[in-house]
Structure 1
Amino acid sequence: MKSIKVNILGRQYPLKVEESEEEAMIRICKYVDDRFQEYRQQLVKQPESTVMVLAALSIAEELFEAKRKSSDLENNDTLVMERVNHSLEKLLSEIRE
């Protein structure tokens, strides 16, 4: 494990990550910080905790939407494969006759 330090909303956080995951974690932390900063600029009078919660909910919403789209694609692929499989079985049946 490797120790790294990341900044989110001006605060430094120490993290331990696998060396192979260091670059990805830094990108993730930068994304989170960027979103928090964006919300902080829009909600100047709100406490930092409110800003962080709203930004986290927005990020979670993005994640759920991406998962839904991925699931929809997988379901679509499954339907296509089932149709292809059915067509192949029908063709094999016709060949046997």
Structure 2
Amino acid sequence: MSELSIRIKIADREYPMRVNEDEEERLRQAGKYLNERLRMFREEFGIHDKQDLLAMIALETAADKIKTEDAAVETQLSLEEKLSSLNQLLSSLQLG
């Protein structure tokens, strides 16, 4: 996998990066997402300080990540319970 030199612009600042080819599109999408959130927070809350805007976006993103992780744990537990029930059912059918 080859590395690329790219620049991602966030809040009117460019950040040079060296990334693998398969990461480029994801990072560009992340930069676009951050800039859209910056614009939304600026318009919705009238905040113009970039540090405050970026802190709000970081907090929102961290909260979303925690919510997603919690949902994944719940899904995993639910699947484990269902598989256990199926295993018990199959075991009872084999014995009976």
State the TM bucket, normalised to the shorter chain.
0.7 to 0.9
Distance in 1 between residues matched to 2:39 and 2:19, nearest whole Å: 24
Give the match for residue 68 of structure 2: 66
Report deviation, 1:37. Answer: 2.1
- The counterpart of 2:26, out of the listed 2, 24, 27, is 24
Contact 1:43/1:51, CA 8 A, preserved across alignment: no
Report deviation, 1:27. Answer: 0.7
User: Could you give the per-residue CA deviations for residues 51-93 of structure 1, whole angstroms, max 9, x where no partner exists?
Assistant: 1101110011111111111221111111100000011111112
Confirm or deny that 1:12 pairs with 2:9.
no
Residue identity matched to 1:48: K
Larger radius of gyration: 1
- The counterpart of 1:87, out of the listed 80, 86, 89, is 89
Distance in 1 between residues matched to 2:16 and 2:34, nearest whole Å: 15
- Given the two structures, how large is their TM-score scaled by the length of structure 2? 0.86
Instruction: State the aligned residue count.
Output: 94
User: Could you give the per-residue CA deviations for residues 26-47 of structure 1, whole angstroms, max 9, x where no partner exists?
Assistant: 1111112211221122343452
How large is the Cα RMSD of the aligned pairs? Answer: 1.5
Bigger mean CA offset, 55-64 vs 40-49: 40-49
Residue identity matched to 1:34: E
Percent identity over paired residues: 22
- After the TM superposition, list the runs of 4 or more consecutive aligned residues in structure 1 that deviate by more than 6 angstroms: none
Mind listing any 5+ residue stretches in structure 1 that lack a counterpart?
none
- Given the two structures, how large is their TM-score scaled by the length of structure 1? 0.85
